[in-house]
């Protein structure tokens, strides 16, 4: 269990940065806002409690690595990196505009704090595994975290990496599935069924933890369980809500990607401000 004050700090930070996601989505004309909202509490817990990083030294060799394999959620990652001090938050005023360092998918050569460019789904887990094995080979004690979307699990490369991570006992790798159950054009279970997803990863040799992906006590407990695991890599299947926090976006496939007019922005902000 988290202390009340710490839980509240995480929730307040999450709410404040959900507002930033809405502001950036409004100003840039459109973004993958539904998935940015579902992944958000996982990223907040990692960035504000666990990741060993130094915003003044983004390429520090002993930093923990973070791979947003669902690279289309870049708008959510970008507001967090700005808030952590990797760059001036004013830069986000031009997010995804011509000449900006920020594309919809973040480029690690242009955006400080990004460890790897993602966007083409299915590459993040293999890359994260390579970083984890590389760190172990070099005798470094950094950890690697990877967040995937559930629709992304259609990519065969995810399962190749899952097999290899278990084979090589990559316990310095912790992966998450943002299990919001909706993909770009409908429910995952009608497009390409994933269930029983926990059993699939278990069969591939992972320890699987299934949690509420918006509950900070559950997220933190799962991450700490993963840190303590010595035999198998850990997959955290986080039950989430696409569009979490914005009432009219929640569980709506249509909000996979979207733009906001003034009224939509105001209603989205009001909804987020009502969150705990």
Ligand X SMILES: Cc1ncc(C[n+]2csc(CCOP(=O)(O)OP(=O)(O)O)c2C)c(N)n1
- Quick one: tokens of 209? 């933890």
Q: C-beta of 141: minimal distance to ligand X in Å? A: 30
Query: Which one, 126 or 135, has the nearer CB to ligand X?
Result: 126
Work out whether 242 is an interface residue with ligand X (CB under 6 A).
yes
The one segment of 45-53, 148-156, 198-206, 224-232 that binds ligand X by CB under 6 A? 148-156
Give the burial class of 4: count Cβ atoms within 10 A of its Cβ; 0-12 exposed, 13-18 middle, 19 or more buried.
Answer: exposed
Query: Which residue is listed with tokens 């003034």?
Result: 262
30 torsion bin: left (phi>0), alpha (psi -120 to 50), beta (else): left
Reduced to 3 states, what is the DSSP secondary structure of residue 174?
strand
Q: Among 18, 70, 214, 244, indicate the residue that binds ligand X (CB under 6 A).
A: 70
Work out whether 126 is an interface residue with ligand X (CB under 6 A).
no
Q: C-beta of 35: minimal distance to ligand X in Å? A: 2
Query: Which one, 14 or 166, has the nearer CB to ligand X?
Result: 14
CA distance 225 to 275: 28
| Cβ atoms 19, 268 nearer than 8 A | no
Work out whether 40 is an interface residue with ligand X (CB under 6 A).
no
Residue nearest to ligand X (CB): 35
The one segment of 18-26, 146-154, 192-200, 221-229 that binds ligand X by CB under 6 A? 146-154
Q: Among 74, 76, 122, 245, indicate the residue that binds ligand X (CB under 6 A).
A: 122
Work out whether 72 is an interface residue with ligand X (CB under 6 A).
yes
Query: Cα dist. 273→155, 199, 221, 246 in Å?
Result: 36, 38, 26, 9
# residues contacting ligand X (CB under 6 A): 21
Work out whether 41 is an interface residue with ligand X (CB under 6 A).
no
| Cβ atoms 79, 18 nearer than 8 A | no
Tell me the backbone φ, ψ of residue 184, rounded to 5 degrees.
-55, -40
Q: How many CB atoms within 10 Å of residue 192?
A: 11
Tell me the backbone φ, ψ of residue 177, rounded to 5 degrees.
-110, 125
109 - beta bridge partners?
A: none
Site string for ligand X, 177-196 (x = CB under 6 A): -x-x-xxx------------
Q: C-beta of 98: minimal distance to ligand X in Å? A: 21
Where along the sequence are the contacts to ligand X (CB under 6 A)?
32, 34-35, 38, 70, 72, 119-122, 149-152, 178, 180, 182-184, 242, 256
């Amino acid at each position: 269990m988290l202390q009340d004050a710490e839980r509240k700090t995480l929730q307040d930070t999450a709410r404040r940065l959900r507002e930033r996601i809405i502001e950036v989505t409004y100003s840039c004309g459109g973004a993958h806002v539904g998935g940015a909202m579902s992944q958000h509490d996982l990223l907040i817990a990692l960035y504000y409690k666990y990741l060993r990083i130094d915003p003044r030294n983004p390429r520090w060799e002993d930093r923990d690595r973070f791979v947003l394999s669902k690279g289309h959620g870049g708008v959510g990652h970008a507001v967090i990196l700005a808030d952590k001090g990797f760059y001036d938050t004013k830069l986000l005023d031009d997010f995804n505009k011509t000449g900006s360092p920020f594309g919809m998918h973040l480029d690690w050569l242009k955006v400080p704090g990004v460890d790897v460019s993602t966007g083409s789904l299915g590459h993040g887990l293999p890359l994260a595994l390579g970083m984890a094995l590389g760190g172990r080979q070099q005798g470094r004690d950094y950890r690697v975290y990877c967040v995937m979307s559930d629709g992304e699990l259609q990519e065969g490369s995810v399962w190749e990496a899952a097999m290899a991570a278990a084979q090589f006992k990559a316990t310095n790798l912790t992966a998450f599935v943002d299990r919001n159950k909706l993909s770009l054009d409908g429910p995952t279970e009608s497009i390409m069924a994933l269930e029983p997803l926990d059993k699939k990863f278990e069969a591939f040799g992972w320890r699987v933890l299934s949690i509420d992906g918006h509950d900070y006590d559950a997220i933190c407990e799962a991450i700490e369980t993963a840190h303590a695991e010595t035999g198998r890599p850990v997959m955290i299947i986080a039950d989430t809500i696409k569009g979490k926090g914005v009432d009219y976006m929640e569980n709506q496939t249509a909000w996979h990607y979207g733009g906001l007019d003034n009224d939509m922005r105001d209603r989205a902000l009001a909804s987020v401000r009502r969150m705990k």
